[in-house]
Amino acid sequence: MRRTALLEGLVGLFLGGALLTVARAAPGPRIATVGNLMRGINGPNCGALAKELKGELNDATKKSMLQHAAMLNEAGHLLMENKRCPDAVWAGACKALRDNSAIISEKVKAGDQAGAQTAFKALTSQGCGACHKAHRK
């Protein structure tokens, strides 16, 4: 009885690990280019966030700013995936994008518009600006 339970447990553990591995694998080809990500995610969200950070901080703008910061944060991850990262400058810029968008989110939640603006300036200089200087054609 114990051997059967142990065997069933080991088989379950193996199958669970195999299923988790399959679930983590990409289901199909990823076709988004860096340009697609920049025009579809980074550009619109960065522009909207810049505009909103200059205006009034209220419930509606907070919700929108949090959405834009979340999309920029996710872009910092996407730009590292699918063999998109060519060098340390790119990796550092993506880290700056992720880190500063998270700070923007924290500051917006706290109602600290000046802090969010400071983090946005760091995002655009250390993230976007650093990478564009090295890689933008």
Which pTM value belongs to this model? 0.80
Domains, in order of start, for the chain? 31-135 (1.20.120)
Looking at residue 100, its pLDDT comes to 98
pLDDT of the residue at 9: 52
pLDDT value, residue 84: 94
Find the mean pLDDT for residues 107-115: 98
User: Which one, of 16, 37, 137, 21, lies nearest residue 82 by Cα?
Assistant: 37
- Characterize 53-84 residue by residue with b for buried, 16 or more Cβ atoms within 10 angstroms of its Cβ, and e for exposed: beeebeeebbeebeebbebbbbbbebbbeeee
DSSP 36-88: HHIIIIIHHHHHHHHHHHTS---HHHHHHHHHHHHHHHHHHHHTTSTT---SH
Check residue 6 and give its pLDDT.
53
Averaged pLDDT score across all residues of the chain: 88
Q: Report pLDDT for 19.
A: 47
Which of 100, 99, 98 shows the shortest CA–CA distance to 120? 100
